[in-house]
Structure 1
């Protein structure tokens, strides 16, 4: 076994031991049968609470190189009463990947985050969730990409809108295909965390029926994360506007991505956007 893998497994073992030691039988809903030589739960108790064999759990704490499923890890999370940060840490140590968190039915944007978007001025800024729904935006973004306030939840999905909106095709013109393929590859990458989820399956089915390009490109299985770089838009009122794009995750809500389109370093785009904001 490689040294790095060995170190990771030992870190996993120590982490489990430390979390087990901090929980009393009473906290776990078990009867306390007198004094214990060591604090916390016994391995057998954790195994029983997790619904796995004592040997299997013991091997984890012995840093053995065994395959463990996400389902087993979730059971251990519940047994050890781990919080969200500890849960993510456990998944990274055991599977070297983050857990596929359920998406909240409603993505709540903090006032501070909305204020940050509003302060971007002539830089269109949006927030998207893992489904690529636009869940927050600033004024200039709405004036360029469409009035999000009046859109349905389906229309606010950037993949759906990319493949079905004539306005987006006109806005992007010759760059539409590049943008559409990039957006689809982002969608495919996120779908990997939620494969088989009914919401995703329904949208994919609807897109297959609505868009010939989607039907053609979806089977290609392209995956991609990250910003698009330079964006060229043709706005119906102000004409050509050019942006450079950056994206980042929200630290206290990592299922949300902030995307900011910064006007290119020329007075023309900025002056056009200022004019648009004054209308």
Structure 2
């Protein structure tokens, strides 16, 4: 075995031992009676909590070169009560890849993030989750892309709306196909972490029924991430709007992406100000 791989497995073994040592049996819902030679859980107790064999877990702590699956690592992470950063560290050491982020527990966003959106002024800004649902927005986004308050949860999914909304097609006109393909490729990249998940499978089936373009393009497996760059809209009230798009993840909520469309010129900024003044 190459030395770098052996070193990584040794690091994994030491990490597991330190995490095991910090958990008292009572914290894991196990009886804590009797004296223990070393603090924390025994290997057999971690194996029991994770639903794996004692031998397999022992080999993991002995830095053996064994097969490890993401599903079993998730079980070990739960048994050792790892936090988000520790869980990612475990996956990097064991698989040299990050795990899929856990599903968020709620659809709301932090008040500070909403204030950030509101302070963007003439730059329409919004937040999407991993399913590409738009979960927060500012007034400029409302004025240009449609009143999100009045849209149904399904209509606030940016992929669904791109492929099914006549208003979006009118706003984008000749740029619609490029935007739709970009949005679909972004959705496909996100789907890679959740392949087979019932929500995603149901959504894909429904959108395939609703849109001939989605049905034709989905099997092409195009994937990408990141912003579109230049974004051109043809607004029914003020005409041509040109934006430069930037996107970034929220550091304390990595399942959320912030997108800000910055006016590319003074004319666009003035038109957005006019819309906001209505």
Q: Secondary structure at the match of 2:18?
A: helix
Matched residues in 1 for 2:3 and 2:252: separation? 33
Contact 2:128 2:258 in 1 (8 A): yes
> CA separation in 2, counterparts of 1:243 and 1:3?
50
Is the 8 Å Cα contact of residues 133 and 156 (structure 2) preserved in structure 1? Answer: yes
Q: CA deviation at 1:8?
A: 2.8
Distance 2:260 2:187 in 1: 19
Distance 1:102 1:80, change over 3 A: closer
Question: Which shows bigger deviation, 99-108 or 137-146?
Answer: 99-108
> Matches of 1:149 and 1:102 in 2, distance apart?
27
How large is the Cα RMSD of the aligned pairs? 1.6
Correspondence list, 1:217-256, <5 A: 217-256=217-256
Map 1:20-169 → 2, pairs under 5 A:
20-104=20-104, 106-169=106-169
2:24·2:41 contact (CA, 8 Å) conserved in 1?
A: yes
Judge conservation of contact 2:104–2:255 (CA < 8 Å) in 1. Answer: no
C-alpha separation between the residues in 1 aligned to 2:8 and 2:273?
52
Flag the 1:174–1:4 CA change in 2: closer, same or farther, 3 A. farther
Q: How many pairs does the alignment contain?
A: 278
TM-score by length of 2: 0.94
Q: What is residue 274 of structure 1 aligned with on the other side?
A: 273
Unmatched tracts of structure 2, length 5 or more:
none
Distance 1:104 1:250 in 2: 13
Rounded to whole Å, the distance in 2 between the matches of 1:91 and 1:113 is 29
